[in-house]
Amino acid sequence: MSEWENRKTNNNELLKAIIVFLELLKVGDTSQDDRFAFTAEWYDPNASLFRRYELLYYPKDGSVEMYDVKNHRTFLKRTKYESLHLEDLFVGNKITVFSRHLTLVDYGDQYTARKLGSRTERTLALIKPDAILKIGELMDIIINAGFTITKAKMMVLSRKEAADLYVGHQAKPFYNDLLQFITSGPIVAMEILGDDAVCKWKTLLGPANSAVAQTDAPDSIRANFGCDGLRNAAHGADSVASAAQELELFFPSSGGHGPVNTAKFTNCTCCIIKPHAVNEGLAGKIIKAIIDEGFQISALQMFNLERTNVEEFYEIYKGVVAEYMDMVTELCSGPCIAMEIIQPEPPKVFRDFCGPSDPEIARHLRPGTLRAVFGKNKAQNAVHCTDLPEDGLLEVQYFFKILDS
């Protein structure tokens, strides 16, 4: 064989190898044999300690398995779990696996870190007093933009808390007006997560002056919901560092409490947006429907409930409704949003607006109710609401006094 033929053969072999390599790259994230590993922690309230697990996720069939790191044994055999998705898996996120709330503290191997390690960031999304009645629409925009809301709480800021938030604005001529405005009524603070979250949220907000936003970014939040440079609907951090500082003010990692909730504990009833509805991105739509019906949301907070808390809360249903165990499992399966609802004038019954507990019946008899529109079955019926008027205060106190403390 001539030297030219040898060179041609070698080039062909090299070309084939390159094609195979490119095909492997093309498969990428869609590989049928992918398995992602994480180190996860769970706080055991009975033993008052953190337990560590290796969590494995198989995207091919959505199954998970878990190993107890300390005891070197299988904790959960490989099981299909439809509530967990690939986009939920990143270091720092809190996930729920069969009612157990886990924090992903590290990648379990280099392959997972390389494939799933991304520009995932967290930032503060703060809804200001002027836009509090638009919280449903704004949450919907946040969800539809691909963010995950991991914390949320309605608050009224003290002047000191407001000064801590706007410490970088002290030299501005509008500083006192800013503090007066932000403390003038309830706000909703949220921790939102997503790829390049700080920049993406700032872009979604638009220019700080709403008049400028209407010209330069007509589709932005401030263009559509704000009035001027002060009353501009929402706030976002300027950098990853300031996002971390601001989140610490509202959701302290050190075990502190942060600003107090806004519960009034008078003339109230309780509503809980259930985990399945939160995970399906329906929270904003449900909140908008409640406000549009004339009800006032006077307190709001996201909770991740332990099973013991849910059993305690649902105790009156035990042995009374056949779906009791399914109801308990649902309410501790992920984050829920609890709200204190104030009856409007003239009074309307909030329970009537929620509709029958069975969504199928609700769709036939009360098609405009929350459960008819957003519910799936008796356990996953979108919302819990107080059944008896005399229990409204007790249920609100359970969330906003006992659990929030």
pLDDT of residue 91: 81
On the question of pLDDT at 1 being above 90, the answer is no
Domain topology for 268-403:
Alpha-Beta Plaits (3.30.70)
CA distances from 210 to 218, 223, 232, 317 (A): 9, 5, 6, 49
- Report field, pTM of the whole predicted structure over 0.95: no
> Pairing state of beta strands 120-127 and 187-195?
antiparallel
CA distance 132 to 262: 13
Active site includes 364?
A: no
The string of pLDDT tens digits covering residues 193-223 is 988 899 999 999 999 999 999 999 999 999 9
If you search the block for the tokens 């407001």, which residue do you land on?
A: 162
Let me know if 12 is exposed, middle or buried by CB neighbors in 10 A (0-12, 13-18, 19+): exposed
CA distance 187 to 179: 13
On the question of pLDDT at 147 being above 50, the answer is yes
Which part of the chain has CATH 2.30.29.170?
A: 36-116
Domain topology for 36-116:
PH-domain like (2.30.29)
On the question of pLDDT at 366 being above 90, the answer is yes
pLDDT of residue 170: 87
CA distance 60 to 32: 6
The region of weakest confidence among 27-36, 69-78, 123-132 is 27-36
Assign residue 327 a region: left if phi > 0, alpha if psi is -120 to 50, beta otherwise? alpha
Q: Kindly name the residue from 101, 235, 276, 384 that is annotated as catalytic.
A: 235
CA distance 236 to 208: 10
Structure-block tokens of residue 138: 């704004």
> Pairing state of beta strands 73-80 and 63-68?
antiparallel
CA distances from 24 to 29, 30, 55, 187, 226 (A): 10, 10, 26, 50, 49
The string of pLDDT tens digits covering residues 235-275 is 999 998 899 999 999 999 766 678 999 999 999 999 999 99
pLDDT (average), residues 183-190: 97
Let me know if 51 is exposed, middle or buried by CB neighbors in 10 A (0-12, 13-18, 19+): middle
Residue at 296: amino acid letter = Q
Domain topology for 120-250:
Alpha-Beta Plaits (3.30.70)
On the question of pLDDT at 21 being above 50, the answer is no
66 confidence band (pLDDT: 50, 70, 90):
very high
**Percent of the chain predicted with pLDDT > 70:** 90
CA distance 306 to 308: 5
- The 10 Å Cβ neighbour count of residue 143 is 19
CB 246 within 8 A of CB 125: no
CA distance 404 to 317: 23
Structure-block tokens of residue 214: 């209407």
Which part of the chain has CATH 3.30.70.141?
A: 120-250, 268-403
